[in-house]
Amino acid sequence: MKAKASHAARILLGLIFFVFGLNGFLHFIPQPPMSGPPVDFVGALIRSGYEFQLLKATEVIAGAVLLSGRFVPLALAVLAPIVVNIVAFHLFLAPAGLPLPIVVLTLELFLAWSYRSAYRPMLGAHVQPDAASEDVALSAHGSLRGSHS
């Protein structure tokens, strides 16, 4: 049952980010009119010349990754700050649109919990580099040193 719920949550979250990310470029879903601080905020993202496009491209790619079922923990980690900002935007600037961000946050948290074993190593307070990583770094450093002698 939990596997089916995780699968459904992954597909739904992937679709949300893929579709709304694409909409940022193609404008196929009409947006409700905004005024005041929400317009100022979105306008600043657009006027930056890159931030809005980077955000929407990240949403499309991460949504596609979630839909593919590959690298799901990575996609969730990349989307986490975006989800926080979407919720904060609606909480503080456009509360009428808060229901969908709450669904997105719930899906993100559920999936992060479902994939928690993938995050356990990076959440350690005192993590040491892998011995294999050190060996590769040392051999690369040694071979570089040897080639310059």
Predicted confidence (pLDDT) per residue in 73-129, tens digit: 999 999 999 999 999 999 999 999 999 999 999 999 999 999 999 999 888 888 888
* pLDDT over threshold 70, residue 139: no
pLDDT above 60 (res 32): yes
pLDDT of residue 148: 52
Q: Is the pLDDT of residue 138 over 80?
A: no
Nearest to 2 by CA among 119, 120, 114, 104: 114
Domain hosting 74: range is 2-148
| pLDDT surpasses 60 at 2 | yes
pLDDT of 133: 63
Say what percent of the chain tops pLDDT 70.
Answer: 88
Of 65, 64, 99, 57, nearest to 82 (Cα)?
57
Is 90 in contact with 98 (CB distance < 8 Å)?
yes
Name the domain count of the chain. Answer: 1
